[in-house]
Amino acid sequence: MVVYINLQSFEYDVLALLNSFFMSKKIVILTDSSLESKKVEFQDQVTHRIRIEDDSTKVEYQGSHFESWKGMHSFATTKEYKYYFKRQYYRYFANITGKTLEWGSITGIRPTKIALQVLEKAKSSEYFDPVSELEEEYLLSNRKANLLVEVASLENKLFQTVDLSQGYSLYIGIPFCPTTCLYCSFTSYPIHRYESMVEQYLDALILEMQYVASAFKDKRLTTVYIGGGTPTTLNPNQLERLLGALKDCFDWGNVLEFCVEAGRADSITRDKLVVLKRYGVERISVNPQTMNDQTLKLIGRNHTSEQAIEAFQLAREVGFSNINMDIILGLPGEGIKEVEKTLREIEKLHPDSLTIHSLALKRASAMVDWMEKQNYQIVKDLQDEMDLGIEAAKRMNLNPYYLYRQKNMAGNLENIGFAKEGCYGFYNCIIMEELQTVIALGAGAVSKFVFGDGRIERCDNIKDVTLYTNQILDMIQRKKLLVEKL
């Protein structure tokens, strides 16, 4: 399907909805500029035209005009008009395909932002029903509307415990892994090829830490999250050096949460866990992704499900009482039986939190090439698998507390984080709702500066490890320019 749209700012939303309605079709979006340049060869193949004008919006499908909608002049803001347009557009395609979407007209990756706004409106009237509002205004299914309200309500409670405006959070990226997983699109380099660079990388990271600690000395550090990559690819001495510098640089008096994404079972040892525990790490992740050995081998994780279980049990022995586990739905070759097995094994361990991801295909991952070579089609409907995960979380007394969606997500679903009371990942909520500045350190890390007027500016570090270490002063200067605006 080749689509023409003459308002470029609507392009993402149109594509997201079309991908959800027509999962088996390849969809190309054209705009005025793309018709005139590299994609001009598609001009005669356009099958769907959307014209957005001041007085009306007209939709044509395969050359036939179907409907005329209210124009932008009828709305106070472009945002209001976009919500209206997406609602009409959704109804239009639901009508001609006979298909409905659980997430209705919502296309963004942070639907909880909408739910938080709806909950705020509900404060002014005892008769206002947030679930009905989401169903009517955004066309969500009752199941997703209830889930969204539950997550947003819990987030609201968490945010009321701290003054986010007076603080900031810290992300530290360790871009090394034992191997790179087939589906991974994060900044990740195999440790066996980069071992000789780790100390130099830590030198640069500590310089960046020292600058941030000085620049934010008048702010309160709220949360600290060390991710990657896989932070536990560092050896115990390197972890000691990293955590020692971190403790020395920053004031920890107001820190609510210190989390390390231990991640891969093939990188976790008792010595490393002892170092993490000694430096006050409270929450760690031990992420199997699946408990099926055949799938683990296929996706390039050089450990077995038994090793994942052993790593979890080892963390308990060392004294960690807040352990998260991640799983991914939609991995190649997996269906209901494989997901059931994974959940059974996880329930035996009874983690303190569980994050259920729906596989998202990223262009930067090796999986896209693998699927093309294998002629493999991603599973389109994973709702039954997600329902199994939600039921397992309930049996373990885990509550849904954060949620987000991604582009090209299997089954048009979502990622959901569940946790026990008192074990919620505060950093996860902060990064999702963008209510606080998050300073990110390390190769490929992206800082988000949140200004008083709600404006957000990003600051990206170079992904390449060698360039990052050699140009660390430039990384610091990039941050300095935005710090001066705060």
Q: Is residue 451 a contact partner of residue 457, using CB atoms and an 8 Å limit?
A: yes
Question: For residue 153, what are the domain limits?
Answer: 111-159
Asked whether residue 105 is assigned to any structural domain, the reply reads no
Rounded Cα distance between 386 and 384, Å, is: 5
Asked whether residue 206 is assigned to any structural domain, the reply reads yes
| Segment 3-14, tens digit of pLDDT | 777 777 888 888
Rounded Cα distance between 210 and 441, Å, is: 11
| Segment 294-353, tens digit of pLDDT | 999 988 888 999 999 999 999 999 999 999 999 999 898 899 999 999 999 999 999 999
Phi, psi angles (nearest 5°) of residue 426: -60, -40
| Average pLDDT value for residue range 434-454 | 95
Asked if residue 259 and residue 130 are part of one domain, the reply reads: no
Q: Please tell me the predicted confidence (pLDDT) of residue 76.
A: 84
Rounded Cα distance between 171 and 213, Å, is: 13
For 333, other C-beta atoms within 10 Å of its C-beta total 13
Asked if residue 366 and residue 470 are part of one domain, the reply reads: yes
Closest C-alpha to 464, from 484, 448, 445, 480 = 445
Last residue of a domain, one of 97, 127, 145: 97
What is the SS3 assignment for 22? coil
Rounded Cα distance between 135 and 125, Å, is: 18
User: In the predicted model, is pLDDT for residue 63 greater than 60?
Assistant: no
Phi, psi angles (nearest 5°) of residue 159: -70, -25
User: In the predicted model, is pLDDT for residue 69 greater than 70?
Assistant: no
Name the domain count of the chain.
3
Q: Please tell me the predicted confidence (pLDDT) of residue 102.
A: 93
Rounded Cα distance between 298 and 206, Å, is: 36
Last residue of a domain, one of 69, 97, 125: 97
Rounded Cα distance between 369 and 258, Å, is: 37
Q: Please tell me the predicted confidence (pLDDT) of residue 5.
A: 78
Asked if residue 155 and residue 178 are part of one domain, the reply reads: no
Least confident of 3-17, 28-42, 45-59, 206-220: 45-59
Both tokens of residue 438? Answer: 């998050």
Both tokens of residue 276? Answer: 């993490």
Rounded Cα distance between 367 and 299, Å, is: 8
Asked if residue 239 and residue 126 are part of one domain, the reply reads: no
Asked if residue 140 and residue 122 are part of one domain, the reply reads: yes
| Average pLDDT value for residue range 397-417 | 88
Q: How far is CA 387 from CA 231, 247, 275, in A?
A: 31, 41, 38
Residue 26's pLDDT band, with cuts at 50, 70 and 90, is: confident
Rounded percentage of the chain residues whose pLDDT exceeds 90: 62
Asked whether residue 89 is assigned to any structural domain, the reply reads yes
Q: How far is CA 333 from CA 27, 186, 338, 374, in A?
A: 25, 23, 9, 12
User: In the predicted model, is pLDDT for residue 51 greater than 70?
Assistant: no
Q: Is residue 472 a contact partner of residue 204, using CB atoms and an 8 Å limit?
A: yes
Phi, psi angles (nearest 5°) of residue 244: -65, -45
| Segment 239-293, tens digit of pLDDT | 999 999 999 999 999 999 999 998 899 999 999 999 999 999 999 999 999 999 9
Better-predicted residue by pLDDT, 231 or 42: 231
Asked if residue 241 and residue 360 are part of one domain, the reply reads: yes
Closest C-alpha to 340, from 410, 391, 271, 380 = 391
Asked whether residue 218 is assigned to any structural domain, the reply reads yes
Asked if residue 262 and residue 188 are part of one domain, the reply reads: yes
Mean pLDDT of the chain: 88
pTM above 0.75, yes or no: yes
| Average pLDDT value for residue range 21-37 | 73
Give me the sign of the Cα torsion angle 332, 333, 338, 342. Answer: negative
Both tokens of residue 199? Answer: 């100390």
| Segment 342-385, tens digit of pLDDT | 999 999 999 999 999 998 766 656 666 666 666 666 656 788 99
Asked if residue 60 and residue 17 are part of one domain, the reply reads: yes
